[in-house]
Amino acid sequence: MGKAEKDWKLELTAEQYKVLRECETERPFSGKLLYNKERGMYVCAGCRNKLFSSETKFDSGSGWPSFWDKVSEDSIETKTDRSHGMTRTEVTCKKCGGHLGHVFNDGPDPTGLRYCINSVALDFKNQED
């Protein structure tokens, strides 16, 4: 069973809660990790699950941190999202179910994928840590 929403509200910041638990989207170009170019691991801000490596991060120009691959099969899940009059593929954390962002088919080689992820849903761990 997942954690109760009231517990998430206590653990997360208001901004993290809005994105991870209520599927909101942060303003583009507002995220702290957008221009981060350090080597390391992007983990879920809710549960620390390993999501994306710095080696797959690229500048998509979208205003959100973008990656062309997930770290492993345990990182994320996807499902169809028909909200806001669009059909998109939502990306959630496979461990805690938190909303991370969406994935599109206009990314670079070798996957052709663009994981468009809210910075506030991520924490970054330096390779040295």
Distance CA 87, CA 83 (A): 7
Alpha helices in the chain (DSSP H): 5-11, 14-20
- Per-residue binding string, Fe ion, 83-112, x by CB under 5 A, is ----------x-xx-x--------------
Indicate if 116 belongs to the active site: yes
| 36 sits in which H/E element | none
Q: Which part of the chain contacts Fe ion (CB under 5 A), choosing from 3-11, 46-54, 84-92, 117-125?
A: 46-54
Question: Whole-number minimum distance, CB 45 to Fe ion, in Å?
Answer: 8
47 lies in the site for Fe ion, by CB under 5 A? yes
Handedness of CA 94, 4, 9, 82 (dihedral sign): positive
Closest-CA residue to 97 (of 13, 8, 6, 26)? 8
Give 45 or 113: the residue with its C-beta nearer to Fe ion: 45
Residues in contact with Fe ion by CB under 5 A are 44, 46-47, 49, 93, 95-96, 98
Catalytic residue set: 116
